[in-house]
Structure 1
Amino acid sequence: SEGRATFAVAPGAVPDPRDVVVNELWYAPADPALEFVEVFNRSDEPFDLSAFRLADARREETVIANSPVLLGPGEHAVLVRDSAAFAARFPEGEDVIEVSPWPALNNGGDAAVLFFGSRENRAEIDAVPYEPSWGGSDTTSLARRDPAGPSARATNFASSTASAGATPGRQNAVFERDLDAPRPVFARRVLRAESTFAVTFSEPLDVATVDPADFAVGGRAPVSAQVERDGRRVRLPFDSVPNGQTLTVRGVADLTGNTLSEEDGVPVAFVAEPYAERPPGELVVNEILYDPLDDDFDDRPNQPEYVEILNPTERRLALAGYFLTDRPDEDGEADTLAVGRPRASIPPGGYAVAYAADAPLEEAFPETGFADSTAVTLLPVDRSSLGLTNSGGLVALHRPDGALLDSVFYRPEWQSEAVEGGDGRALERIVPLGPSNRASNWQTASAESGGTPGRSNGAAPPPESTPSASLEIAPSPFSPDGDGIDDVVFIRYALEASVSLARVRIYDSRGREVYEREAELAGREGQIVWKGRSESGDRLNVGVYVVLFEALDADGGSVETFKEAVVLARPLD
């Protein structure tokens, strides 16, 4: 009639993908009737839930509401399997919508999917393809951290931390707005692909923002940048091996739109090279505790078995997939112990300690200060023992491809005479690049706690000097009494030219030869260790000894000769 107008009230707008998201779901409650899915409107428009459908991974849909129900901007709606059971469990909860038939959510992994429109003309608005590893349990829901974050990434979900186990109809207890740009957290050279590198980011990347020109190693860009399926790892092949130990990147963005605008870098972990002629390679077995203290009534912390690995190079070395083996049996089979974990590496001059996690390493060896050390990588092994036998055995370190890096056949006879068996005392390597299987290059740890995992061995050689064509002997006097202080003497040589063999002869004050050793030489400089014992292993008397060092050519002729005195001392009884 005159003076009146008629308006059609729209029941809601048409949503774009992820305008409405699955924000929380309880897929594994002890009572299946308590299953629920919470949806959240993260847009600025209202939507009619009667136009939405809920489905599981099979895409068998159920209409959410049979009559118009508006979901306003910033509002939650809780879709439940059984409204009566839900009200009893969450009496202070918001109004809920009982969906029937309910698309049962599988405890072992499934999906919660939102569709908009009719069955014939539908659009997928959101889908959360969850796995049990994402979070959630029989007592807690699976909750989204950031509604604007990705729906298909575990990094954006977690178990609810609410005291009630869930927060239906309210902001999630784990809510955390993602405002941080993705950053590189680990980079490595790919095994058996020298010119290919891989970098892992703190969160999944938007593939459209990944450009090879934004990556570099040694100032050179890769020929391509291939984002792996999880979205966090990028593979970077170069046309040749780049020089450089740091990978830099800029310009990449995460799935929320946060962009790494300023260049960021991460050290590259390289693949350790095996030895060419004799061990060790670029990673060294540096310390072994095979007979730990494990008496619960001795007022001392129990010790774990451990193997310490040293990186003596100037490069960071990767550890993912590395493993230890013992002595092979008659069929050539050896027990294998995986010690390397993903993204683990050792910095230059640093250590990794593989230990049986049954006993706390930090309590047994507090001097290292593991929590504050950047030079130590801990590799706990979830077992009570590493299988190191007290009677001696083999510790062999391998790369993931099986290449041997170092091999030590330790023996209890290498311990000091003052130690019975192992007796809670580790064997320490004296010269890191010295022979792996020579008793003279190992001695008993003198530290009060019984070992030095993650720090310099007590028997480490003195700082090197660079003399020209000379022989240096230090310390002198030395006292091989097993107290860990000056127990060995280092015979350090520097030659005019490289030779293939060295001979060391040691004479007492009467001119009698008491010790002789020949050693292959790998360069013009090096050192040989003497423990103050005779050729047969007997203790020698205190006094002055003369060291005769000869560098020999391929025919056994003497090329260079040096002679120096050394004093062997011992505390008075």
Structure 2
Amino acid sequence: MKKIFFALLLLPLVTLSQVVDNFSDGDFTNNPTWTGETTEFIVNTAFQLQLTATIPFSGPSDTAYLSTPNSKIDETEWQFWVKISFATSANNHGRVYLVSDQSNLEGPLNGYFVQLGDYGDGKDSISLYKQSGNVFTKIIRGTIIYTNNTTNIFRVKVIRDNLGNWQLFSDATGGNNFSLEGNCSDNTFTNSNFFGIFCKYTSSNSTKIYFDDFYVGPIIVDLTPPTISSISVVSTNQIDVLFSEIVETTTAQNINNYIANNGIGSPLLALKDATNEALVHLTFQNSFVNGQLNSLTISNIKDIAENTMLSVSRDFVYYFVKQHDIVINEIMADPDPVVGLPAYEYIELYNKTLFPISLKGFKLIFGTYTKVFPDSASIEPNGYLIVTKNNAVQLFTQYGKVLGLFSNIYSLTNDGQTIILKDPSNNIISFVSYNIDWYHDSSKKDGGWSMEQIDPLNPCGEINNWKASTNAKGGTPGNKNSVFANNPDNTAPSIVRVGIINDSIIQVYFNESLDSLKLKNLSNYSINNDLTPVSVTLNSPEYKSIILTLNTYIQPSVIYTITITDTIADCVGNLIPINSTARFALPEDAFINDIAINEVLYNPKDDGVDFIELYNRSNKIIDLKTLNLSSFKNNVLSEIKPISSDGYLMFPGDYTVVTTDIAKVKSQYYTSNPNGFNEMTSFPSFNNDSGSVAISKKNGDIIDLVRYNDGMQFPLLNSTDGVSLERINYDRPASDLTNWNSASESVGFATPAYKNSQYSNGEQIESPITVEPEIFSPDNDGFNDAVNINYTFTTSGYLANVTIYDANGRLIKILVKNELIGTIGTFSWNGINEDNEKAKIGIYIVYFEVLDLNGSVKHYKKTCVLGAKL
């Protein structure tokens, strides 16, 4: 990136009106000088201009800008590089002002800017806008770059001639292989005073916009011939050649411009890609020898500026199948009762590649069984293979290609198990660890229906990428899955926690399966306080955790931080965010009341599971593998279950939910702390009306004990199914019946792994109701579009009614009616009345009424103003 713009610095006739800045000088105060909100930006260690905005701030979002003098507009080219580490939205996006008559880019001005992401229209793209004062007009809408990913890196080029003809280009990889986004003609403004950047962001994204490689100057004439960026082997006789830029069609499709050694010769066909004009597909007559090193010589290829490349040779190798080229795509674990398919189990494999694959020597492993594929076994390009029992082959031939691999003694487990496909070298090609919840349909999990993968390009999607077949026969063996859909994994992986195996070995847990090759690299892990990993052990087949052996002993009373670099990726290449960290330390013994039972879901929804929330109210770090969960009957601990077999550190102030099905709890309740969960293999049986919950040490010492019953729930609830019982204050005794209440309706009747909705520390509050902002304008511009009605009470158990009236006392909107609320929360009004129309501009009264169980009623009135832009 840097060397490209170093060359631009050498361009002749560079005038003072140009802007060239790649921040390699480490600042933005000189050469050129940027002004504006300078405290909100830095030049980071990668020599990029980075937003580092001050938080907190009022309102849902804030803005920041920098600008620098520039008068170039005619016969001008603008270039810049951008990284946005979030999916853009109306409150989270950026702009690059190409032309402005004002240095302040937050106010009215005349000019043009490139919009980087959603500007309130829901279009996550890049576009060219004209700004006339406070009026914004889109003049080019981009069609290539989309900014709805968690990480968006791209480069933009804009060209304007002296007649006002604009062209917008982009490279979605951040390189210099530009494609045309669109063009237009607009000559409204013909003078410029400033060039600059503008960022709009919420607090969570206040450091996640980056800029680099700014160039504003004469249109750059291409004098550089194309080069080879990469050569990819697509199949047994096909190669893709990616050039550094768009190549001219005639020379790119001339087969005589390509020749391979080892008797391969020139291709039969050279064809430019229909979408990427820098990509050429080569098809040869003969297949490549597997594993043989070959060389491809390319010459006489021109770019669109007629620059001709010199002859160059590149090596390539045709190689064996790699991980996830074949995926386990469908599982019939329980064929009884029959719906429409043969009454036999089967596993369907799907070949995602463009070439046939021999399965000679491959192994299929499930449970204690390992079966080796015969020499003749193969799977066609984009094809399916039904693997079933030997005596069922004829029954399945009508559905597609079948292989009998098992005798009747082999059987899949109905409730779930791990299935692994390995190549002859024991490399894992595909695996699934299914369970009965993967059906997502209680009516189909009892038999006769298969589980199908939704998106084969998301091979590690687990429960989120599988569901019960919707085909009337109960499955689709040998054919495209009935539930097939685009279901990509666009979420970066993260560290969940670190467990202590002993005083020199730790285990690092991740939230999803990761690329095993990346995990093996020791340089990806660093630890502070003089600890260094000296070896890494991978836990296959899921690769969700690693074991690190350390160079020395973990010291008592020292909190360590392990840092992961961004070179670790999941199965589809999403990178762990830069400098992801997790804490660990040697744990201490837990004593009575160190851990509080803070929330109990003892009567789950019909298809739900129990959970217990724990809170570490001590100043210790406590390992849950030293504790048990149990019931307490006849003054004796019973149904004693270990909370964690492999270690789970709770730091002071941590909330942790223990349950038998984390995914189920998360699917039914919101949590702001998705890593604060620990899954147990089995749970004590807690009655749905009354019972007891105990946390104890391995020696039987009780840490905390709760005796619950339905009488502790809020009595006006119609049902307590799926309603958790929350502890109001963890510093008050668990035995105090007045210290418990039902979770608030406004949070969904449970708060797993985060602060209880009914929590109260008993402090007096001057005014329990506040309204902000006092003036709001529901015009969907992303600024003060709703009024927030905040409440904070010192006691729990209130029913709330919230009504909006106009200044004359007329009913405008019933916002909340008889809703069980927590001690702290917010309701919002977007300005829509009972007729589903926007209310008129004016003063409105917020009438907030709360009732308690004793019949006591409290009334609060607040005012707000519904405004609009003039």
**Normalised by the size of structure 1, how large is the TM-score?**
0.48
| Higher relative contact order, chain-length normalized (CA < 8 Å, sep 6+) | 1
Q: Which has the larger share of strand?
A: 2
